Structure 1
């Protein structure tokens, strides 16, 4: 049975593979980056994923037993990945206003 959740398990940057552990929307997991890869490139990729997303990932509450996504599950997976990398997505949203969506 599926839960309509998506999880990023690996990403590719500059011909290098990055493995990501964890599952679901809980921002818990390890991101294993090759020493030769610039963390700036990883951050730029994750920022692009954040700004291309309208989803919100929220912690458990009285209606949800686990972390959950409001919006598109794929976008929720990108937000979760950024949170695993310790990017403060809410802060970024306050610093960069969305003017238009295509």
Structure 2
């Protein structure tokens, strides 16, 4: 057995204080926000899908080019996951004619 004395830390006290500045709660009472549709800004329109519609049919009727279906699909990515799965009653954004 060792007869070495061990350090006595029983009287040690510690406290931790942050070095970051203390900040009062932020005041957002004067903040306002609004969202505008890009369709109104660039001359686009909307179209309500009818039974039997496809994006290429809508593109042909609305934009004059059936091959422009992808422009309609991209403008509606928030609504559409698959260009082949549009449903009657959906309101699609139609981009402006280019």
- The TM-score, its normalising length taken from structure 1, stands at 0.23
Larger Rg computed on CA atoms: 2
Query: Looking at both structures, which has the greater relative contact order when contacts are Cα pairs under 8 Å and sequence separation is at least 6?
Result: 2
Higher helix share: 1
- The TM-score, its normalising length taken from structure 2, stands at 0.23
